[in-house]
């Protein structure tokens, strides 16, 4: 497929810093044997990709697992050594394991092995999603390439192909949730906490792919720069958040949406929250007017389990009110009684699935139900506030200088002191369609020759 369909080639290889132009040749090989290598047959890499641009080459080994088989550290380290010994630029691993970025990995290896060889990892679901989006966007004009994409999607979508999503949290999930419910405290460096955070990362990545297919647009997991570049730091810091606040958090970047979609799983409350945050419209001067602006966007939303969180500009605690209560009465004292107006609103879908929260599989099922439900009911209807563009002032002609008006001989605007200013001619050239500005004739001057 990478050799035959340039559109898919670009979607897949661009993740690894490679772009295929019309002059680029992509050759692919399977079950390769490197000349002079004495490794046993079982250690043969599954494939090799060669990207040729003029005299420059980029080579990557491929190691793929399907079904429940996982990428193993020993095999990856052997292939990294093999790539380094034969000047191969990268190793690409493919499996049903999910990572947030191709530069993140299902496990750690010796950093010395990554000094001259890049290691990238992608899931089969990620590649399948790229193919689906390519087909749905109608980016392929060639009928043969379109046929190949359809067959590729059909093949990998069949259960016998062995492509699967992330279906359940780690084995320690249920006991950890029950420990927190009983008042127990988690240790940030414990194996259980790190396993849960790693499992959460896989589920969040799969959610982004599901949302991509659901919306026919590429939805990605939003990460800070330091987390995007350092997977270990991301795991450490999120493990600390889990141990202190008992929450798992994520953010999704949806193209053209009013804001990122925020997802939070509260292990203590056994609740799943999905939300979006909008800045309050600054052109509305009262709390009631700002709330009405929001409610107009939510007029068709199902109010069940929906909360509007009012965020104040001061250090005051946010105010939570159900959407149904807001619709009934906007003159609620906890809102209109404040001396300030809201700076932002967070619209939250809060679901408490009860015992299903503690189930390894049912927790994942709840997440994959709540996220698209939130977007369909709320997210797609929200629009961020944008200030109105400035309007031109009416240009008038008067016999006496007046504040804020432009006159033919002395153009003035602003406060009363502007009558002392001479506005340059090039700033007064614009004319109004209804009130043209009469420009003073150019003063006599000395002709200047432009020759030479």
Quickly list DSSP for 404-446. Answer: T---SSS---SSGGGGG----GGGS----SSSPPPPPPPPP--
Q: What percentage of the chain exceeds 70 in pLDDT?
A: 85
Cβ contact 131:148 at 8 Å: no
pLDDT in tens, 216-238: 899 999 999 999 989 889 999 99
Mean pLDDT within 36-58: 83
What is the distance between the terminal CA atoms of the chain, rounded to a whole angstrom?
63
Using pLDDT thresholds of 50, 70 and 90, give the confidence band for residue 423.
Answer: low
Using pLDDT thresholds of 50, 70 and 90, give the confidence band for residue 42.
Answer: low
Mean pLDDT within 283-305: 93
Phi and psi for 394 in degrees, rounded to 5? -70, 130
Residue 356 vs residues 250, 269, 360: alpha-carbon distances, Å: 20, 13, 8
Using pLDDT thresholds of 50, 70 and 90, give the confidence band for residue 418.
Answer: very low
CA atoms within 13 A on the CB side of 18: 28
Q: Which residues pair with 321 in a beta bridge?
A: 308
Closest among 104, 94, 130, 124 to 218, alpha carbons compared: 130
Q: What value does the mean pLDDT of the chain take?
A: 86
pLDDT in the model for residue 436 = 46
Using pLDDT thresholds of 50, 70 and 90, give the confidence band for residue 424.
Answer: low
pLDDT in the model for residue 433 = 43
Taken in order of first residue, the domains within the chain and their CATH numbers are 6-161 (3.40.1350), 173-381 (no CATH), 392-440 (no CATH)
Q: Which residues pair with 308 in a beta bridge?
A: 321, 347
305 alpha-carbon distance from chain centroid: 25
**pTM of the complete model beyond 0.75:** yes
Structure tokens at 190: 């414990």
Give the residue, 406 or 217, on which the prediction is more confident.
217
pLDDT in tens, 90-101: 999 999 999 888
pLDDT in tens, 346-397: 999 999 999 999 999 999 999 999 999 999 999 999 999 988 888 886 655 5
pLDDT in the model for residue 428 = 53
Pairing of strands 90-95, 56-64: parallel
Using pLDDT thresholds of 50, 70 and 90, give the confidence band for residue 446.
Answer: very low
pLDDT in tens, 8-40: 998 899 999 988 777 889 999 998 888 877 666
Give the residue, 39 or 412, on which the prediction is more confident.
39
Q: Dump strand ranges (E) for 197-282.
A: 220-221, 247-253, 261-266, 271-279
- Judged against a pLDDT cut of 90, whether residue 325 lies above it is answered with yes
Q: Is 23 helix (H, G, I), strand (E, B) or coil?
A: coil
Q: Which residues pair with 276 in a beta bridge?
A: 347
Residue 173 vs residues 154, 357, 360: alpha-carbon distances, Å: 34, 10, 6
Q: What is the 8-class DSSP label of residue 138? A: T
Q: What is the 8-class DSSP label of residue 379? A: G
């Amino acid at each position: 497929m990478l050799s035959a369909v340039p559109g898919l080639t670009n979607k897949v290889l661009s993740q690894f810093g490679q772009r295929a132009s019309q002059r680029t040749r992509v050759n692919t090989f399977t079950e390769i044997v490197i000349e002079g290598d004495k490794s046993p047959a079982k250690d043969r890499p599954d494939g090799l990709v060669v990207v040729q641009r003029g005299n420059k080459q980029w080579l990557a080994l491929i190691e793929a697992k399907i079904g429940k088989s996982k990428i193993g550290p020993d095999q990856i380290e052997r292939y990294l050594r093999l790539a380094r010994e034969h000047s191969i630029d990268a190793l690409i691993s493919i499996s049903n394991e999910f990572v947030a970025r191709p530069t993140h990995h299902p496990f750690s290896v010796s950093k010395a092995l990554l000094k001259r060889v890049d290691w990238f990892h992608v899931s089969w679901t990620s590649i399948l999603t790229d193919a689906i989006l390519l087909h749905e966007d109608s980016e392929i004009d060639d009928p043969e390439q379109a046929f190949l994409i359809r067959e590729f999607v059909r093949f990998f979508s069949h259960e016998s192909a062995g492509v699967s999503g992330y279906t359940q949290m780690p084995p320690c999930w249920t006991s950890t949730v029950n420990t927190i419910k009983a008042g127990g405290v988690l240790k940030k460096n414990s194996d259980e906490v790190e396993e849960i955070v790693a499992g959460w990362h896989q589920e969040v990545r799969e959610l982004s792919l599901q949302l991509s297919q659901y919306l026919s647009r590429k939805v990605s997991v939003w990460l800070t720069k330091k987390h995007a570049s350092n997977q270990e730091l991301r795991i450490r810091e999120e493990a600390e958040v889990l141990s202190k606040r008992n929450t798992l958090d994520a953010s999704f970047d949806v193209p053209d949406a009013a804001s990122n979609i925020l997802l939070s799983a509260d292990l203590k409350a056994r609740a799943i929250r999905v939300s979006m945050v909008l800045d309050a419209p600054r052109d509305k001067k009262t709390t009631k007017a700002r709330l009405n602006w929001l409610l107009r966007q939510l007029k068709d939303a199902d109010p069940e389990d929906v909360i509007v969180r009012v965020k104040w500009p001061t250090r005051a605690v946010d105010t939570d009110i159900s959407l149904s209560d807001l619709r009934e009465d906007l003159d609620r004292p906890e809102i209109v009684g404040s001396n300030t107006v809201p700076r932002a609103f967070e619209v939250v879908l809060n679901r408490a699935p009860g015992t299903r929260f503690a189930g390894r599989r049912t927790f994942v099922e709840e997440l994959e139900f709540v996220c698209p439900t939130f977007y369909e009911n709320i997210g797609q209807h929200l629009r961020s506030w944008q200030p109105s563009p400035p309007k031109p002032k009416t240009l008038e002609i008067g016999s006496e200088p007046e504040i804020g008006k432009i006159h033919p001989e002395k153009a003035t605007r602003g406060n009363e002191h502007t009558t002392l200013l001479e506005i340059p001619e090039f700033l007064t050239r614009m004319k109004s369609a209804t009130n043209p500005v009469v420009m003073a004739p150019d003063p006599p001057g000395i002709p200047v020759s432009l020759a030479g």
